[in-house]
Chain A
Amino acid sequence: MTKTLSVSAIKNGTVIDHIPAAQALKILKLLQIGTHKNCVTLGLNLVSKSLGLKDLIKIENRILTDTEANEVTVFAPKATINIIENFDIVKKITTRFPDSIVGVFTCANPVCITQTEAIKTHFYLEEYGKQIKLTCRYCEEQFDRDHLVALSAAL
């Protein structure tokens, strides 16, 4: 039987795989994909052995920086991020959780100053065992990563 790809290959660019289902659109927003002209291929709810369902993003002609790749892990902790050149993987980016993330999440504290002033939110990340906690730089309240990810709007 011929094996077919659900999502077509790209010649040059970045492939982000093993994204938990429903997070790909949030990652597109994080990477500000909407503002560039490159071809982007998106796979939603693909079958995955490890995740059950997963999302996949292929971005033509854009190489993610290490900082961008680390920010992706806030939405997709087990993501694999590969750089493609001439259809081959030339680099697998080793990711780690960033120390902080700016302007991505909305603070869940209704009396945080970020709710009323025109300023970018800023969270510090910390790992507590298997849990990822984000602490707002302003109101200093701590939230579960999953809570803020669930609150964040896609696109």
Chain B
Amino acid sequence: MAKHKTCGKLIMNNTLYGTDIISIADLQLDQINHILKTAAQLKAKPAPDLLQHKIIANCFFEPSTRTRLSFETAALRLGARVIGFSDAENTSIKKGESLHDSIKIIANYADLIVIRHTHAGAARLAADVANKPVINAGDAANQHPTQALLDLFTIKECQQKIAGLNIALTGDLKYGRTIHSLIQLLALFDIRLFLIAPEALSLSEQFANHLKKKGIKFSFHQSIEDVIHKLDILYMTRIQQERFTPLEYQTFTEHYALNPACLHKAKPNLKILHPLPRVNEIPMSIDNTPHAYYFEQAANGIWVRQALLNLLLNK
């Protein structure tokens, strides 16, 4: 295998250099492992000069807190400079400019574009248009690949392995972009999935077919308590209020919230993850239990995004 010298260390041939991160479906398993390995290296030994003289454009056409600040922090901590905007209100999009033209121009200013957009497929279009690497930071209900990668990094970090784990996904499994990306990512590994959601938010046929095609064992459940004793990872997501009547929303959120009392049935190694923001799925009383790992998960976003920026911009 070809080797490149980077930061004084020999690393695998970097097949991610100059590419885009648009969808988990585009990534090969060896590339995913390379991202996880690089993130772990950066977490163990920060590298503040890796992106000196590089400019990252953070183009958030839709508001975001964690993802935008996490990308910005990741870039700054690698020595890059950051330009961009945090919503589309003050951009030429408001004057009627197409996304195509906006991205074409921004690509002239920056070395890499991070994009979040209200329309699904916007990041794919941006990648087609830009002559610089593009990272999808969330496109409507489609994909959120960097969240899924940081989730996987966190799972591996807290369980010391991925293969053989029992993982439950709860909440909005139908419309959540994080779930879509994570399902595709987990399907590359030998894991067992428990899918816990109200019928109206159950996993779509498209993703269920994908799991079948990949030979992943999975089952549908209505209650966290039914399966909590089997789990290594409980991945919770927020149910979006706007999709339901107030009564339905209240019923779902009460039913799919994690009851602290049921944790006494959990395995000692169970870790609870959540992409955040949480509303009332996880009571704050759980924060101080050994099972809570969602704040560490959020912090890991920095390292995984640093890894991606580095791998896309440095040979």
Is B a genuine binding partner of A?
A: yes
Binding site for B on A (CB under 8 A): 109, 111-119, 128, 133, 135-142
As a 0/1 sequence over residues 187 to 198 of chain B, the CB contacts with chain A under 8 angstroms (1 = contact) are 000000000000
Distance (Å) between the CB of B86 and the closest chain A CB?
Answer: 20
Is the contact region of chain B dominated by helix, strand, or loop, or is it mixed?
mixed
Say whether A113 contacts B23, CB under 8 Å: no
Is the contact region of chain A dominated by helix, strand, or loop, or is it mixed?
loop
Q: Which of B103-146 contact A (CB under 8 A)?
A: 117-122, 124-125, 139-143
Q: Which residues of B contact A133 (CB under 8 A)?
A: 206
Say whether B206 contacts A116, CB under 8 Å: no
Say whether B124 contacts A115, CB under 8 Å: no
Q: Which residues of A contact B25 (CB under 8 A)?
A: 140
Say whether A137 contacts B98, CB under 8 Å: no
Say whether A140 contacts B100, CB under 8 Å: no
Q: Which residues of A contact B99 (CB under 8 A)?
A: 113, 116-117
Binding site for A on B (CB under 8 A): 23, 25, 98-100, 117-122, 124-125, 139-143, 180, 206, 209
Q: Which residues of A contact B98 (CB under 8 A)?
A: 117-118
User: How far, in whole Å, are A133 and B209 apart by their CA atoms in the complex?
Assistant: 11
How many A-B contacts at CB < 8 Å in the complex? 57
Say whether B100 contacts A136, CB under 8 Å: no
Q: Which of A118, A137, A138, A141 contacts B100 (CB 8 A)?
A: A118
Could you list 22 A-B pairs, sorted by A, with CB under 8 Å?
A: A111-B140, A112-B119, A112-B120, A112-B121, A113-B117, A113-B119, A113-B120, A114-B121, A116-B119, A117-B100, A118-B98, A119-B100, A136-B121, A137-B124, A138-B120, A139-B119, A139-B139, A139-B142, A140-B121, A140-B142, A140-B180, A141-B120
Residue of A whose beta carbon sits closest to that of B101 = A117
Q: Which of A111, A113, A140, A142 contacts B125 (CB 8 A)?
A: A113
Q: Which residues of A contact B119 (CB under 8 A)?
A: 111-113, 115-116, 139
User: How far, in whole Å, are A86 and B301 apart by their CA atoms in the complex?
Assistant: 69
Q: Which residues of B contact A114 (CB under 8 A)?
A: 121
Residue of B whose beta carbon sits closest to that of A144 = B205
Say whether B100 contacts A139, CB under 8 Å: no
Q: Which of B117, B125, B141, B206 contacts A119 (CB 8 A)?
A: B125
